[in-house]
Structure 1
Amino acid sequence: MKLKDKYRFIRQNIKKNKARTFMTILATAMGCAFLIVLASVGYGLQQSVVKETLEDQVVTEINVHGKIKDDNYYPITNDEITFLEKVDHVKAVTRKKQLAQIPMFHLDKYQTESVAVSTHFPSEVKAGLKLEEGKLPENANEVVVGYQFIDTLMLGSEKDAFDEESGKVKDEYRYKDSLIGKTISMTIQKDVESDETMEIPLTIVGVLEKPTREWMVNQNVYISQEVFQEVEAYTGTPSGELGLDPEGLETTQSESYDEVYVYADNLEAVQGIVDTLEEEDYATYSVVSEMKQINTLFTIAKAGLIFVGTIALIIASIGIYNTMTMAVTERAPDIGIMKAIGANPKTIKQIFLLESCYIGIIGAFIGTLVAYVISVVVNLGLPVILEMAFDEEMPEGLQFSAIPWSLVLISVVICLIVTVISGMRPAKRATQIDVLKAMRREI
């Protein structure tokens, strides 16, 4: 018997019991849709978390915390910087030092407190630093400021100018002119026990590009190494820290850095660089390491959700088993005739297994379509419902459900396996029917 003839025979038999077959297909479709929708939650949330992580951090960035020696952490010095720059596939090594006190900055009648940072601009440019306007510093007393620095400049006292409700400077007290070319005065305190201060004039020559994320704020002032050392010489303490006794202190801190980042040529090279640095006893962190942990957790979660969804298909398989058992009983005369004219038992078994697969394929197809519709509805409607229920705005771009082709393939394969297993017992029973009893309908 050809496959085409088997298929025609199956369709004829299904048409005889449309209602029962429809209910069986419906149960299979519901089970398949439940499996896909349930697992899609894991896929959707994983995509949202991964996307947010990739947007919040530079994927080729490796944070080097320090050098481990005798179970202690030591800051990165120029010697380590030289080594890091020679590692294969390293594009740039940025390094920053931050003043240990927060200076006051004055521009005409405007003022603000802001963090002062010394950085190595050539390496920052290699790493991708961009300016919103202006240029990079060329002289010792030229500085670049963060994009939000201008928003912190206020006229008069903080009590009058700062709006606590909005967390911003009131519009009438804000500085509204361009900062490029303006000279600001950085006030450095010598010691906590005295009012003695030093004024360092600085010229703003550039403003850094706006941070990529709305919640990110950069209001730092980026000073030169010369100015940084001038502050250390004035206070007599490393990084201009207050509260230390300058007697006997050496400002060797100038040779080490507070923040060091290594940038790889591409994403594929990140893990190799991390492995190399860890072998050399460097304490590192990269988003790639975090991504591995996130993906591992979501893989476990998705496997669990798929397992739970499979239970629904197993429940649906009871209906398939019942349908196929009834089909064997009702078609006993047909089976008897087929065996009487010499049909191979394998052929009879194949017919019933194909019918079971036919039900599974149709159910999987319908279930997949329903799952996609539910996924769209969930992504559009659930955020609105949650916002109304909890009175909180959901994060932008949050995706609750995602259905990749791999999930559809997994679900269809599981559905087919379950339906085939459900039809094996009835199919085997069909091959064991006695011809004479079948002709008399006495099975």
Structure 2
Amino acid sequence: MKFKDRYRFVRANMKKNKTRVIMTVLAATIGCAFLIVLASIGFGIHKTAIKDITNGRLMTEIEVHGEKPFTRKDIQKLDELKNTKTVTRKQIVENNLTYHLEKYESRSETMVADIPAEKKAGFELSRGRMPIHKNEIIVGYDFAQGLAKIPDEETKNLSEKELQNKLKESQYKGDLLGKTVQLEIQQMKGKKIVKKNFPLTIAGIGKKPSKQWMLNESVFISEGLLKDIERFTKTPRGIMNLPENKPIKMDYNVFNNVKVYTHTADEVEGVSKKIEKMGYSTYSAQNELKQINVIFLIIKIGLITVGTVAVLIASIGIFNTMTMAVTERAQDIGIMKAIGAHPGVIKKIFLMESSFIGIMGALIGTAIAYLFSYGVNLILPVLIEQFFHEKPPENFYFSYIPVSLPLICIAICFSVTLISGLRPAVRATQVDVLKALRRDI
């Protein structure tokens, strides 16, 4: 018996019992939709967590830490490792420094960075250009927010809320690009604090941070300017030589905040192991991702298992439908056996019918699950904001359905329906021909 003939036979028999077949398909649909929707919650929260970790952080970035400060030789060794794209390093100016612009001042973190290495690592400007001269600087995107008017006597008597409002009003509102700021450096000379100003021109403004709550007020200065600062303070990186401190004997050419960048995310693990063999400790976003992926894998397996229970309940309906089909078609089975149909063919016919019911339910259930997922991601944030006056986290996924989830669901549904239809199909092959033709089973 050809596949085409078997298909026609199954289709004709399903049409005879439309109501029963529709209700069985509906049960399979509900079970499959429940499985996908339940599992999609785990996938949605997982996707949100991954996005939160990776957003604003390069997946090719490896933070390197050592017990001792990094020297140029250490940086060179890291740069020579296979699959290393670039190595960024910074020297933080450790001084009680202040930036002055007109009546405004700011105490922003100041550092020296290797600009070519930073550019390779993905550093970008929102406006302006990279520095050319030693008195040119790059400021962070939010540097202007840190520039505020010098507090006067009136601010001392204000409450914390009033002080915050006052500071917002006193923030610098002008355009920073091309402006000249005065960098004030301090050092102890005996028991007195001596100050010196370095005029600096803002050549570029850094790119806006990827997250709204992140602020970037840092300042990049040139290596030449750092040397001028060190000549004034007579200490490495402008460290204040307080009377109670011992004389500074640290190396001038050491670096902190060292990061290694690979060409692709797949190379991070291999490069990290090589760096660790050199005696350093490493950290990358992938360290967090591994732990999170394992946790969410367990959660997703649990949700899929719970959802599978609904599919198993639907399989009871399929078993019942196929058992009734064998009883009702006993005479047809008897005729097929009488004309020489092989028991395997009869078995395949009933398994085909149960499979059709399961696949139809899985496909319709998948479509419903996608509609539900889209609707809940669209409507739920609005409802939460409307009734609870709370705004959900940015880019939060309440439900997410990857391609693999419907495939898993269809595979589970198909397997369950085959198992459900197996017993009735075997029973169909055992029907006695003479009794079947007499309609007496």
> Normalised by the size of structure 1, how large is the TM-score?
0.88
* 1:58 to 2:55 alignment: no
Matches within 5 A, 1:376-415: 376-415=374-413
Identify the range of structure 1 (357-366 vs 339-348) with the bigger mean alpha-carbon deviation.
339-348
Deviations 1:380-427 (A, max 9, x none): 122223334543211222222222322221111111110010011011
Cα distance in 2, alignment partners of residues 397 and 351 from structure 1: 49
AA in 2 matched with 1:107: L
Q: Deviations over 1:9-64 (max 9, x none)?
A: 22222222222111111101111111111222222333333333332201222111
- 1:250-399 aligned at under 5 Å gives the runs 250-252=249-251, 254-399=252-397
1:29 is aligned with what amino acid?
T
Give the Cα–Cα distance (whole angstroms) in 2 for the partners of residues 362 and 99 of structure 1: 68
**1:100/1:242 contact within 8 Å kept:** no
AA at the equivalent of 1:250:
K
| Cα deviation 1:88-121 (Å, max 9, x = unaligned) | 2322211112233442222232222222222222
Question: 1:218 maps to which residue?
Answer: 216
Aligned to 1:116: 110
Of 26-35 and 294-303, the range deviating more from structure 2: 294-303
- Paired with 1:259 and 1:429, the residues of 2 have a C-alpha distance of 73
> How many pairs align?
435
Quick one: which amino acid aligns to residue 222 of structure 1?
Answer: F
Deviates more, 1:160-169 or 1:256-265: 160-169
Offset of residue 195 of structure 1: 5.5
1:70 is matched with none
Mind listing any 5+ residue stretches in structure 2 that lack a counterpart? none
Q: What secondary structure sits across from 2:55 in the alignment?
A: helix
The 8 Å contact of residues 106 and 146 in structure 2, kept in 1 or not, is answered as: yes
**Unpaired runs of at least 5, structure 1:** 67-72
Question: Helix, strand or coil: the match of 1:430?
Answer: helix
After superposition, the C-alpha distances for 1:329-348 in whole angstroms (9 at most, x for unaligned) are: 22222222222232221121
Cα distance change on mapping 1:142 and 1:12 into 2, 3 Å: closer
| Deviation string, structure 1 residues 148-167 (Cα, Å, up to 9, x no partner) | 22222223317759976867
Cα offset for 1:177? 4.5
1:55/1:321 Cα in 2 relative to 1: closer, same or farther (>3 Å)? same
Separation in 2 of the partners of 1:86 and 1:312? 56
Give the letter for the 1:437 counterpart.
K
Q: Separation in 2 of the partners of 1:365 and 1:46?
A: 25
Report the counterpart of residue 11 of structure 2 in structure 1.
11
In structure 1, C-alpha distance between the alignment counterparts of 2:176 and 2:68, rounded to whole Å = 41
- Aligned equivalent of 2:196, options 196, 199, 204: 199
**Deviation at residue 179 of structure 1 after TM alignment:** 4.5
Q: Which amino acid aligns with 2:246?
A: E
Q: Distance in 2 between matches of 1:29 and 1:207?
A: 58
Could you list the per-position Cα deviations for residues 352-405 of structure 1 after superposition, in whole angstroms to 9, with x for gaps in the alignment?
111111111211121111111111111112222333454321122222222232
Q: CA deviation at 1:307?
A: 1.6
Equivalent residues in 2 for 1:22-101 (5 A)? 22-66=22-66, 73-101=67-95
Partner of 1:441: 439
Q: Which amino acid in 1 is paired with 2:437?
A: M
- Aligned partner of 1:170 in structure 2 is 168
- The one-letter code matched in structure 1 to 2:55 is E
Rate the CA distance shift 1:361–1:185 in 2: closer, same or farther, 3 A: closer
2:28–2:315: 8 Å Cα contact kept in structure 1? yes
Match of 1:76, SS state, is coil
How far off its partner does 1:212 sit? 3.4
Q: Distance in 2 between matches of 1:16 and 1:171?
A: 78
User: Which residue identity is paired with 1:144?
Assistant: I
Gap change, CA 1:194 and 1:136, over 3 Å in 2: farther
Paired residue type of 2:49: V
Contact 1:155 1:175 (C-alpha < 8 Å) held by counterparts:
no
Q: What secondary structure does 2:207 align onto?
A: coil
Question: d(CA) in 1 for partners of 2:305 and 2:163?
Answer: 49
Distance between the aligned counterparts of 2:14 and 2:127, measured in 1?
Answer: 73
Measured in 2, the distance between the counterparts of 1:295 and 1:244 equals: 52
Residues 156-200 of structure 1: CA deviation (Å, up to 9, x unaligned): 317759976867843465252444241413142539x95613223
Note closer, same or farther for the CA distance 1:352–1:82 as it changes in structure 2 (3 Å cut).
Answer: same
Cα offset, 1:243, TM superposition: 5.5
* Deviation of the 1:323 alpha carbon: 0.9
The structure 2 residue matched to 1:420, chosen from 400, 418, 421, is 418
Comparing 411-420 and 326-335, the one that deviates more = 326-335
> Is 1:60–1:267's contact at 8 Å kept on the other side of the alignment?
yes
SS at match of 1:144: strand
Give the 3 Å change call, closer, same or farther, for CA 353–185 of structure 1 in structure 2: closer
**Residues 419 and 242 from structure 1, CA distance in 2 versus in 1: closer, same or farther, beyond 3 angstroms?**
farther
Shift of 1:226: 4.8
